[in-house]
Structure 1
Amino acid sequence: MLELLPLLFGYLIMFFGALGVVRFPDVYTRLHAATKCDTGGIMGIILGLSMIVNSWAIRTKLVILLIFIAMINPMISHAIARGAYKGGVKPKVKVDMYAWDNP
């Protein structure tokens, strides 16, 4: 029964992340919600799955997958945000601090 808590936590993070993707106004805040949703939600789900399975080989594969997702997902979202900014998509904020670095 205890192994269901990380699964439930992961599902809740995924739900609220999807809600943020729908509700946030621009690409950057939506990307932030999607990244948190992917990283946090999948980590909770994989942690719960690793508690459920009995095989050490499958647990090892799940932990390797968890580490891979934790490293790659923030880099990919940063690359997407940078590409959007370089492509001319402006954030809906009052002060654009990145404009100082990229004239």
Structure 2
Amino acid sequence: MAEPRLAAGIWVSAYLARLRLSDIPVFVTAKGDETAGAVLVKSNTLDGQAQLFQRSLDLMSGARAWIVLAEGGETEIDAAIERQKRFDPDLWVIEVEDRAGRTLLDEPGLAD
């Protein structure tokens, strides 16, 4: 039996709280569907570079993991986000600003 998925809005709220507790600036740049919206996380290192993360499902194991969807110049990442938003109007986009590139996505409770 598959694990129940946490509603997107609840996950986003918890993620924002974790980042703020770690003094990592974060902004919601697109608010998606509260229940089932997909979430993209943009990691902005404030040097013109960025990475874009998306949660992916491993079909063999059923595990969910964050993968790098795109990386490069910030303008390229912003263009990739806009393309995704055209396909999915329920998409959440969260921008994390940290010179060290910390996103906390690999921490327990956020990684899966």
Same fold (TM over 0.5): no
Q: Which has the higher contact order (CA 8 A, sep 6+)?
A: 2
Question: Rg larger in 1 or in 2?
Answer: 1
Q: TM-score, normalised by structure 2?
A: 0.26
